[in-house]
Structure 1
Amino acid sequence: MTGGCQCGRIRFSAAVEPDKAYACHCKMCRKATGGAWIAFAGVRKEDVTWEREPDWYASSPIARRPFCSHCGTPLGFAFPDSETMDLTVGAFDDPAAFRPAHNYATESMLDAWTDLTGLPGYRSEENEAVMRRWHDAGMEAPE
């Protein structure tokens, strides 16, 4: 499967099992991504091919994270001494193929964000102000 950052500067391909993704709720991942939790897919490092090497941030004494320094997209997580790493599900070109298999760091879960199924939903095209901004920029809104 292929993926990359928002601006397209960093691209990758990886042999990955989409049905073995997971949600990480640890505080470090929340801070690193700005999200309530992050969806990851585990891969063997040797099964990832970077078209361009990502930037790396040493997020703790034991781990580092690939990202794009141009657009800021978080691309994953890795222990330097491990043969495996995680790639962010949202960075894949077809993230709909992924299915979560488990939660990790459940002690840090934000309970209000664990089940969103009962909330009302709104489609992007229903937000007239955002659609107008895309139109005024001479573009169609991204999916």
Structure 2
Amino acid sequence: MLFEGGCQCGRTRYRARGPRDRASICYCRMCQKASGGPFMAFVRFPADQVEWLTAPSVFASSNRAERGFCAVCGTPLTYRHIGAPYISVTLHSLDDPTTVRPDMVFSPGAAPDWCFALADLPKQQMDFAADPDFRNYQRPATRER
């Protein structure tokens, strides 16, 4: 199976050839800081199965791991243990993230308590594309206007 993805602006793109390894959610504090959210979701592939059409910039977030991101738009794209034969791409940087469902959770004890009550919150659907003045600059855009 072929997985394709990239950043918001379209500068940094990749292709990963399956089969994929695990898909995971990580609540650790480093992932929270890297994403600006309560967790990050990843899909792991053997590193030699990931082809970069334009390589990401890389930041060593510790002495054991590095994170790839687009230097133009800032989209977080990868997590990799330094020297490991695997690389994890961020699940929602895939062009079609619905093809993968997480099968593992890391560091659930670091999750904010409210994370597990999200299903109980009031819901409001956002449809920006319904606004005739809306323009989506993300690439690839899910709905062009």
TM-score per shorter chain, which class? 0.7 to 0.9
Shift of 1:76: 1.2
> How big is each residue's C-alpha offset from its partner over 1:58-103, in whole Å with a ceiling of 9 and x where there is no partner?
1111111110010000001011221012110010000011111111
Aligned equivalent of 2:107: 105
Q: Which has the higher helix share?
A: 1
- Which amino acid in structure 2 is aligned with residue 48 of structure 1? V
Q: What is the identity, as a one-letter code, of the residue corresponding to 2:68?
A: P
Matches within 5 A, 1:8-27: 8-17=10-19, 20-27=22-29
- Could you state the TM-score of these two structures normalised by the residue count of structure 1? 0.85
Q: Counterparts of 1:120 and 1:67 in 2: how far apart (Å)?
A: 33
Using a 3 Å threshold, how does the CA distance of structure 1 residues 50 and 103 change in structure 2: closer, same or farther?
Answer: same
Structure 1 CA distance for aligned equivalents of residues 121 and 78 of structure 2 = 29
**Residue-by-residue CA offset, 1:8-54 (whole Å, 9 max, x unaligned):** 00110012456831100000010011111011111110010000111
The answer for unaligned runs of 5 or more in structure 2 is: none
- 1:81-127 superposed Cα distances (whole Å, 9 cap, x missing partner): 210121100100000111111110122121211342222221112x7
Are 1:72 and 2:74 an aligned pair? yes
- Relative to structure 1, the CA distance from residue 70 to residue 97 in structure 2 (aligned partners, 3 Å threshold; closer, same or farther) is same
Between the aligned partners of 1:25 and 1:79, the Cα distance in structure 2 is 17
Compared CA separation, residues 16 and 28, structure 1 to 2 (3 A):
farther
Matched residues in 2 for 1:96 and 1:37: separation?
Answer: 18
Counterpart of 2:133 (choices 132, 136, 139) is: 136
Aligned partner of residue 120 in structure 2, secondary structure: coil
Call closer, same or farther: CA 1:18–1:123 in 2, change over 3 Å. Answer: farther
**Distance in 2 between residues matched to 1:8 and 1:73, nearest whole Å:** 10
Say whether residues 1:114 and 2:111 are aligned partners. Answer: no
Amino acid at match of 1:53: A
1:136 match: secondary structure: coil
Q: What is the aligned length?
A: 137
Letter of the structure 1 residue corresponding to residue 35 of structure 2? T
User: How many Å separate the matches in 2 of 1:60 and 1:30?
Assistant: 14
Structure 1: gaps of 5 or more residues: none
Instruction: Kindly indicate whether the alpha-carbon contact (under 8 Å) linking 1:41 and 1:88 is maintained by their aligned counterparts in 2.
Output: yes
RMSD over equivalenced CA pairs, Å: 2.2
Contact 2:8 2:75 in 1 (8 A): yes
After the TM superposition, which of the residue ranges 1-10 and 94-103 deviates more from structure 2? 94-103
